[in-house]
Chains A and B, each alone.
Chain A
Amino acid sequence: MDWVNAVVQGVLLGGVFALFATGLSLAFGVMRLVNLAHGQLALLAAFATVSVAEATDWNPLVALAVVVPAMAVLGYLLQRGVLDHTLAGDGDPLRSILVTFGLAVVIENLLLERYSADSRGLAAGTIETASIRVTDDLAIGWFRLIGLLVAIAVLAGLALFLARTRTGRALRAVADDRATAELMGIDTHRINGIAMALALATVAIAGVFLGIQTTFAPSDGNVLLLSAFEAVIIGGLGSLWGTLAGGITLGVAQTVGAQIEPGWSALIGHLVFLAVLVARPTGLFPRTAPA
């Protein structure tokens, strides 16, 4: 029963991993931008929530209503003001990698300056410990269940937005062929800004959920980035639902790993990632011929 429990907890954890990875996938899909500051941006959202919660006494989940739009605006401005300039010209990916790496260092140090190196947590109240008892050995935490459901809802909303709206269509057109999209009258810089706004909005939600589940410190960004990368690659680049599958696979690998040996959680996650990379380099749900 412990194993069933481990798998169930992994699935629940996976939703937030997927949410966390979605922004990375979106930025890469639309702009071919590898955002190495993704983990630090998630932490920025989590720390901002700490500040908002302290200042207002709100539950962190309520503070999301402020933090998510703020991160979306930051994403738009960051893309238009900084990152777009690294994409201009020959499109050498090295430039954007270096700039986002620098950004990661800057954000990390600003967080250290403002919040010190101590680990912090976000307290969401009784919802954190409430659970549904399925059997004597298996309980599903309400908070983790909400995390998974929120992740699924956000991914579904994003999928609908991309499939049904005019702007969503434009985003997909830019992802397919940027130069031709420009010829069709699409302001591709604006689309870039919207894509990064969505990326940071989703990463803000993920950051706050992770912050409630566990403690976090300014130096945790790169570990977060790594798990986001793993979820994206396991699921297959460019597929939203693949990212969900990737997140869940990673979540299950980590909780089952912890079940084998408490210290092995991250290790088993990395091993599963490497195994997928060897067996299916394009991921579980590669974006093949468009469906």
Chain B
Amino acid sequence: MSGAAAPAGPLLVVDGVDAHHGDLQALFGVSLAVDEGDVIAIIGANGAGKSTLLAVIAGALRTTAGTVRFAGDDVAGVPGHRRVEQGITLVPEGRRLFPSLSVEENLLVGAFRGRPGPWTLDRVYELFPLLRPLAARAAGTLSGGEQQAAAIGRGLMANPRLLLLDEVSLGLAPLVVQQLYAALGAIVDAGCTVVVVEQDVGQALGVADRVWCLLEGRVSLSGVPADLETDAVTGAYFGALSGPARRS
């Protein structure tokens, strides 16, 4: 290891971040840190602020307080489209493929401002073989699972250092979800750090190195999955149980 210029500290540091949707405050002093190479899960109920947090990290939403540091640099003032060049890519909730573009064109748009790296059209088709025969099809005509695979592939085409996956499993059959999560290993092996937002707690705890739980815009629990007790997670998720159930 000697001589390796490893960057000091975590890849992503979110520190005391507030964010608003109009007059409505969605995040209250949220802090978290993500080490390079990890898979992080952010869990929480509907409206807990998970997607808002990802939007803040991806630059789609401005913070109203606190800092976001990526690879050591403060990225607060960096607009969303510049963060792709820096290495942050968000796969948005609901897939949001470009419906009139073909699958392959969607993937190519992902590479529009991408960085050089391992992910190419061929690598994405290797990861998701189901996409190859669909390459020329309009993205709007795909099934939900196919769209999600294409959306993740489109995100990978930018060769991100940090890939943010929002609600991958939403509305998909369990078998399809399983296939999609099976690809996560290859994505991490290719040198990508991954943050997943999940409503499915079991799924999240299964894949993550570390979990953050949000409740009404605040971090209610964080830890390594193996150390978390089910009751504590349930409490942090629903807010039903307060203080006593929380691990210190």
Residues of A bordering B, CB below 8 Å? 166, 169-170, 172-173, 175-177, 179-188, 287, 289-291
Is A188 in contact with B81, judged by CB distance below 8 angstroms? yes
Main secondary structure of the interface of A (DSSP, over half): helix
B101 within 8 A of A: yes
Is B85 in contact with A185, judged by CB distance below 8 angstroms? yes
What residues on A are CB-neighbors of B184 within 8 Å? none
Is A289 in contact with B108, judged by CB distance below 8 angstroms? no
Q: Bound complex: CA of A289 vs CA of B158, how far in Å?
A: 27
Q: Bound complex: CA of A181 vs CA of B101, how far in Å?
A: 12
B165 within 8 A of A: no
B58 within 8 A of A: yes
**Residue from B100, B109, B138, B140 within 8 A of A184 (CB atoms):** B109
B113 within 8 A of A: yes
B98 within 8 A of A: yes
What residues on A are CB-neighbors of B92 within 8 Å? 180, 183
**Residue from B60, B105, B112, B140 within 8 A of A186 (CB atoms):** B112
Q: Bound complex: CA of A188 vs CA of B108, how far in Å?
A: 16
B194 within 8 A of A: no
**Residue from B81, B89, B90 within 8 A of A187 (CB atoms):** B81
Indicate whether A173 sits within 8 Å of B80 (C-beta atoms), given known contacts A166-B112, A186-B112, A289-B140: no
Q: Bound complex: CA of A119 vs CA of B112, how far in Å?
A: 48
What residues on A are CB-neighbors of B109 within 8 Å? 169-170, 173, 181, 184, 186
Indicate whether A172 sits within 8 Å of B101 (C-beta atoms), given known contacts A185-B113, A290-B140: yes
Q: Bound complex: CA of A180 vs CA of B84, how far in Å?
A: 12
Residues of B bordering A, CB below 8 Å? 58, 60, 80-85, 89-90, 92, 96, 98-101, 105, 108-110, 112-114, 138, 140-141, 154, 158
- Between A169, A172, A175, A181, the greatest number of chain B beta carbons within 10 A of the residue's beta carbon is seen for A169
**Residue from A172, A179, A182, A183 within 8 A of B100 (CB atoms):** A172
Is B58 in contact with A290, judged by CB distance below 8 angstroms? no
Indicate whether A183 sits within 8 Å of B90 (C-beta atoms), given known contacts A170-B109, A172-B101: yes
What residues on B are CB-neighbors of A166 within 8 Å? 108, 112
Interchain residue pairs with CB less than 8 A apart (24): A166-B108, A166-B112, A172-B100, A172-B105, A177-B98, A179-B96, A180-B96, A180-B98, A181-B98, A183-B80, A183-B81, A183-B89, A184-B89, A184-B110, A184-B113, A185-B84, A185-B85, A185-B113, A185-B158, A186-B81, A186-B113, A187-B81, A289-B140, A290-B138
Question: When A and B form their complex, which 5 residue pairs have the shortest distance between CB atoms, in order from nearest?
Answer: A185-B84, A185-B113, A290-B100, A176-B98, A180-B96
- Between B80, B84, B154, the greatest number of chain A beta carbons within 10 A of the residue's beta carbon is seen for B80
What residues on A are CB-neighbors of B100 within 8 Å? 172, 175-176, 287, 290
Q: Bound complex: CA of A37 vs CA of B216, how far in Å?
A: 48
What residues on B are CB-neighbors of A188 within 8 Å? 81
What would 18 more interface pairs be, CB under 8 Å, given A182-B81, A185-B84, A185-B114? Answer: A166-B112, A169-B108, A172-B105, A173-B98, A173-B109, A176-B99, A176-B100, A177-B96, A180-B96, A180-B98, A181-B98, A183-B60, A183-B89, A184-B84, A184-B109, A185-B113, A289-B140, A290-B140
Is A184 in contact with B154, judged by CB distance below 8 angstroms? yes
Q: Bound complex: CA of A177 vs CA of B158, how far in Å?
A: 18
* A80, chain B: closest CB distance, angstroms: 15
Is B98 in contact with A182, judged by CB distance below 8 angstroms? no
Is A184 in contact with B158, judged by CB distance below 8 angstroms? yes
Measured CB to CB, the nearest residue on chain A to B157 is: A184
Q: Bound complex: CA of A172 vs CA of B101, how far in Å?
A: 8
What residues on B are CB-neighbors of A177 within 8 Å? 96, 98-99
